[in-house]
């Protein structure tokens, strides 16, 4: 039926698979204690499953307020061809940001929030451990800071080409440069987090963006953690960083993330695309590790 004035009907153009979180959901690995916290904004069903999950959706408004009809919008909606949501749940995609690239908005928003949690300073030596989609998004934003030296660290040597495209250095974990003022960790592995602590200079900070699901993580806190006075903190996009909460709402933060996507360098973070009808096979392949890459984009409608 015709939507009320407070709703919009959106036909999807593209959606993105959030590899780490969606794989854990697909595999039924959301801890019981996190069932409420890990609900997607428009999730249907309950954990452990079956659930309709996802939060990187770009579409075109078909019905609703006149000023929005025909506009391309981003929303935190699961993979679905057509849907109705409140007007406040969609954010217009700005001119200069292709719909194909706008699927990254939620990921860039996560990276932006992390940089608000631990703002870089001019001259800082920074490592980003984990060259997945979130880590590469953090590195892409850090590359814009003047005087900041950034090294992207990953176990996959092929990610060196992505690092070069983003304008940052690359190293395998054993060769990573230490004495870092700040480390952003996004590998979602115990080894990655341990290596992040090892790379810090005295009184340095690790900001952990990873979500481990039901995986237990053991750290060497009896070694140099205390003697170097290191800090370990989490960053989670569910709420705006306390440093910016008085000035930015979540909607403001998402609008800023979309604006940052004017930079075409982010196109290099999309490494695969499939039709919506292929999503069951694609999601199984991603969760099993058979389809590696960064962002896998889902296409709706004809090629």
Host domain of residue 205: 107-234
Question: In this structure, are residues 180 and 157 in contact, taking their beta carbons and an 8 Å threshold?
Answer: no
Alpha carbon 169 to its chain centroid, in Å, reads 21
Total domains in the chain come to 2
- Torsion angles phi and psi, residue 44, rounded to 5: -115, 140
Query: In angstroms, rounded to a whole number, what is the distance separating the alpha carbons of residues 135 and 189?
Result: 13
Check whether residue 14 and residue 83 sit in a common domain.
Answer: yes
Residue 256 lies in a domain: no
> Does residue 243 sit within a domain?
no
Residues 215 and 151 in one domain: yes
CATH at residue 206: 3.40.50.720
Boundary of a domain, candidates 213, 234, 255:
234
CB–CB of 203/230 below 8 Å? yes
Same domain for 111 and 223? yes
What is the per-residue pLDDT across 80-126, written as a single tens digit (0 to 9) for each?
A: 999 999 999 999 999 999 999 999 999 999 999 999 999 999 999 99
Indicate the DSSP class of residue 226. Answer: H
**Residues 174 and 206 both lie in one domain:** yes
The crossing angle, in degrees rounded to 10, of helices 105-117 and 133-142 is 60
- How confident is the model at residue 79, as a pLDDT? 97
In a domain, 251, yes or no: no
The CATH number given to whatever domain includes residue 279 is 3.90.180.10
- Read off φ and ψ for residue 164, nearest 5 degrees: -60, -40
Note whether residue 257 is domain-resident. no
Question: Which token pair is 250?
Answer: 């979540």
Q: Per residue of the chain (303 residues), what is the pLDDT tens digit?
A: 666 678 999 999 999 999 888 999 999 999 999 999 899 999 999 999 999 999 999 999 999 999 999 999 999 999 999 999 999 999 999 999 999 999 999 999 999 999 999 999 999 999 999 999 999 999 999 999 999 999 999 999 999 999 999 999 999 999 999 999 999 999 999 999 999 999 999 999 999 999 888 889 999 888 889 899 999 999 988 889 988 999 999 999 999 999 999 999 999 999 999 999 999 999 999 999 999 999 999 999 865
Look at residue 255 and tell me if it is in a domain.
no
DSSP calls for 148-186: -EEEEE-S-TTHHHHHHHHT-EEE-GGG----EEEEEE-
Q: Domain boundary residue among 234, 253, 281? A: 234
Residue 240 placed within a domain: no
Same domain flag for 146 and 227: yes
**What was the pLDDT predicted at 303?**
54
- 138 and 166 in a common domain: yes
Considering only CA atoms, which of 148, 128, 106, 143 is closest in space to residue 261? 106
β-pairing verdict for 51-52 and 57-63: unpaired
Please check whether residues 139 and 156 belong to one and the same domain: yes
133 vs 119: CA distance, rounded Å: 20
Whole-angstrom distance, CA of residue 86 vs CA of residue 3: 10
258 part of a folded domain: no
How many CB atoms neighbour CB 37 within 10 A? Answer: 10
- Are residue 99 and residue 116 in the same domain, yes or no? no
Query: Does 272 share its domain with 221?
Result: no
Give yes or no: residues 64 and 18 share one domain: yes
pTM of the model: 0.93
One domain for residues 179 and 148: yes
122 & 208 share domain: yes
């Amino acid at each position: 039926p015709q939507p009320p004035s407070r709703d919009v009907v959106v036909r999807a153009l593209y959606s993105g698979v959030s590899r780490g979180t969606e794989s854990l959901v697909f595999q039924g690995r959301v801890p019981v204690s996190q069932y409420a916290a890990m609900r997607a904004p428009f999730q249907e069903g309950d954990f452990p499953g079956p659930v309709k999950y996802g939060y990187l959706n770009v579409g075109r408004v078909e019905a609703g307020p006149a000023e929005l009809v025909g506009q391309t919008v981003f929303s935190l909606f699961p993979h679905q061809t057509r849907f109705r949501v409140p007007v406040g749940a969609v954010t217009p995609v700005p001119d200069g940001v292709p719909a194909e690239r706008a699927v990254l908005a939620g990921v860039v928003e996560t990276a932006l929030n992390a940089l608000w949690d631990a703002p870089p300073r001019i001259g800082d030596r920074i490592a980003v451990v984990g060259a997945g989609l979130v880590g590469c998004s953090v590195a892409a934003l850090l590359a814009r800071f003047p005087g900041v030296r950034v090294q992207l660290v990953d176990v996959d040597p092929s990610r060196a080409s992505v690092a070069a495209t983003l304008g940052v250095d690359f190293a395998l974990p054993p060769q990573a440069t230490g004495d870092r003022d700040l480390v952003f960790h996004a590998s979602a592995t115990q080894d990655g987090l341990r290596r992040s602590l090892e790379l810090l200079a005295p009184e340095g900070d690790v900001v952990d963006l990873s979500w481990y699901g039901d995986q237990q993580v053991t750290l060497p806190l009896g070694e140099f953690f205390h003697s170097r006075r290191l800090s370990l903190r989490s960053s989670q996009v569910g709420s705006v960083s306390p440093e910016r909460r008085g000035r930015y709402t979540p909607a403001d933060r998402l609008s800023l993330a979309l604006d940052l996507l004017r930079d075409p360098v982010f196109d290099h973070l999309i490494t695969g695309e499939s039709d919506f009808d292929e999503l069951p096979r694609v999601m199984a392949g991603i969760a099993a590790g058979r389809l590696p890459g960064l962002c896998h984009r889902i296409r709706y409608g004809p090629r």
